[in-house]
Amino acid sequence: MAFHAVDIIRTKRDGGELTGEQIDWVIAAYTRGDVAEEQMAALAMAIFLNGMAPQEISRWTDAMIASGERLSWDLDRPTVDKHSTGGVGDKITLPLAPLVAACGAAVPQLSGRGLGHTGGTLDKLESIPGWRGALSNDEMLQVLRSAGAVICAAGSGLAPADRKLYSLRDITSTVECIPLIASSIMSKKIAEGAQAIVLDVKTGSGAFMSDPARARELAATMVGLGARAGVDTRALVTAMDVPLGRTAGNAVEVAESVEVLAGGGPADVVELTLTLAREMLDAVGIDADPAGALADGRAMDAWRTLILAQGGDPDAPLPRPRHTHTVTATSAGVVTRLDALAIGRAVWLLGAGRSRKEDPVSAAAGATWHAVPGDEVAVGAPLITLQCDDEQLLGPALAEVEAGLQVGAPGAVVPRMPLILDRIVP
Residue 117 pLDDT level (bands cut at 50, 70, 90): confident
CATH homologous superfamily of 323-408 equals Pyrimidine nucleoside phosphorylase-like, C-terminal domain (3.90.1170.30)
Span 5-51: which CATH code?
A: 1.20.970.10
Average pLDDT over residues 370-378: 97
Which ranges in the chain are annotated with CATH 3.90.1170.30?
Answer: 323-408
Span 80-315: which CATH code?
A: 3.40.1030.10
Per the CB < 8 A criterion, the answer to whether 159 and 191 are in contact is yes
Which ranges in the chain are annotated with CATH 3.40.1030.10?
Answer: 80-315
**Measured between alpha carbons, how far is 332 from 183 in angstroms, rounded to an integer?**
48
What percentage of the chain exceeds 90 in pLDDT?
90
At residue 62, what are phi and psi to the nearest 5 degrees? -60, -40
Catalytic annotation, residues: 83, 162, 169, 184, 188
Question: Is the pLDDT assigned to residue 358 strictly greater than 80?
Answer: no
Residue 353 pLDDT level (bands cut at 50, 70, 90): confident
pLDDT in tens, 45-66: 999 999 999 999 999 999 999 9
- Name residue 247's beta-bridge partners: 368
The pLDDT of residue 175 is 85
The pLDDT of residue 298 is 98
pLDDT in tens, 132-179: 999 999 999 999 999 999 999 988 888 999 989 988 988 898 988 999
Task: Specify the amino acid at residue 313.
Answer: D
Residue 357 pLDDT level (bands cut at 50, 70, 90): low
The pLDDT of residue 184 is 94
**Measured between alpha carbons, how far is 4 from 92 in angstroms, rounded to an integer?**
45
Which ranges in the chain are annotated with CATH 1.20.970.10?
Answer: 5-51
